[in-house]
Amino acid sequence: MSESGELIIEPKSGQPANACVFILHGLGADGHDFEPLVPAISLPESANVRFIMPHAPRLPVTINGGMVMPAWYDILAMDLGRRVDEVQLKKSAQRIQALIEEQIDQGIDSRRIIIAGFSQGGAVAYHATLSFAQPLGGLLAMSTYFATADSIELAEANRSIPIEVHHGNFDPIVPESLGRAGFDKVKALGYPANYRQYPMAHALCPQQVQDIGKWLSERLAT
């Protein structure tokens, strides 16, 4: 099925971008889902950051009775391990990596490119980031899980990338145990990772938005 492009938000300063943040949405949403986050995180006026929010392709989703909807990959079963179509997930990750390479080709330093993802988008973000051959600036995994932890080929270029993992302790969609398992996995692999828990369901909350803004500002400080 065809991929439907991406939402791009250029720096509010009006200056050329010298950094880029990708945000990957969850199942059934699109790139516009996180559009309100950009002004809410209150990056410094001097931050010349381009935000890119790709739209997932439309796919039939097994757990939703085969209904066709925006999805980065099919979810086959909502069991404890969350069985997914890894071939589709890795194809989506390759698409994100191609978009990252486009930004590098346009002059953005790879170390000033950050990948963030929510739920399904977070699973793709884990794979796209940790298997990318050039050093990136950071990975933000929100209300998600490390679906390809046992099959990913880790790239040496990103073995020291900072990873921020956020999860709600009332999440009925992606249990916090899955988010914690992903964090435990990257910590065991030696990545500098940090875990934040919030009193929320499958969503973002105001304190988290503040924390995201602070984390991004630290990662992109010049």
Instruction: Report the DSSP beta bridge partners of residue 70.
Output: 58
Catalytic residue among 30, 74, 171, 211: 171
Active-site residue, 177 included: no
DSSP annotation string for the chain: -----EEEE--TTSSPPSEEEEEE--TT--GGGGTTHHHHT---TT--EEEEEEPPPEEEEGGGTTEEEE-SS-EEE-STT-EE-HHHHHHHHHHHHHHHHHHHHTT--GGGEEEEEETHHHHHHHHHHHT-SS--SEEEEES---TTTTT----GGGTT--EEEEEETT-SSS-HHHHHHHHHHHHHTT--EEEEEES-SSS--HHHHHHHHHHHHHHT--
Backbone angles phi, psi at 155, to 5 degrees: -90, 130
Q: Which of 119, 127, 143, 167 is catalytic?
A: 119
Q: Where are the alpha helices (DSSP H) in 2-154?
A: 37-40, 86-105, 120-130
Residue 119 designated active-site: yes
Cβ–Cβ < 8 Å for 17, 43: no
Residue 16 three-state SS: coil
Q: Which residues are catalytic?
A: 119, 171, 202
